Amino acid sequence: MVVAAPSTKPLPLSARAEDDKASGNERVDWSLLVPRLVNPIKVLIIESMLWIERPLSATELEKLSGGQPILNSIWYHLESLADLGILEIVEKRKMRKSQGSTKETFFFFAVRQQR
C-alpha cells in the first residue's frame, strides 16, 4: 500500500459556500475533508481485522500490506487505536527462538458494554 501525501490545496467549500459565507456560516464538503483527516494506516489495520476476523500483530499486518507501511508505523497506529479504545491487546505470544525472547502482541476490536 502506498500512502499518498495530503494535498496542500485549500479545503473545498460546499456548493452553497457563497450563501453561507454571506451569513457567516461557511460549510465544508465532508466528502473531501474526511480522507484528509483519516489516516490510511489506521484504515488498513481496521479493514484487515474486519476481513480476516481475528486478532493480528504488527508483523502480520506488515506482511499483509506487502511491507508498506513499515512495521514501526503500523505499531504506532495499533497503539493509537488502542489508546482510543477501538482496539485492545488480546494476546502476547513468545516469538520463535531465532528472534530472541521478545513477545508478539496481538490486537483486536475492544469489547464495548451496551448501555
What CATH number has the domain bearing residue 81? 1.10.10.10
Report yes or no: 54 and 60 within 8 Å, Cβ to Cβ. Answer: no
CA distance readout (Å), 60 to 2, 21, 35, 49, 113: 17, 48, 25, 11, 28
Q: What is the mean pLDDT of residues 103-111?
A: 93
pLDDT level of residue 56 (50, 70, 90 thresholds): very high
Does 16 map to a domain?
A: no
Query: Which of 98 and 36 is assigned the larger pLDDT?
Result: 36
Does 51 map to a domain?
A: yes
pTM attached to this predicted model: 0.67
Count of domains for the chain: 1
Whole domain around residue 104: which residue ranges?
Answer: 40-109
pLDDT at 44 over 80: yes
Looking at residue 62, its pLDDT comes to 94
Query: Which of 74 and 14 is assigned the larger pLDDT?
Result: 74
Does 33 map to a domain?
A: no
pLDDT at 33 over 70: yes
Q: What is the mean pLDDT of residues 68-89?
A: 94
Does 7 map to a domain?
A: no
> Which is nearest to 16 in space by CA: 27, 1, 24, 5?
27
Does 102 map to a domain?
A: yes
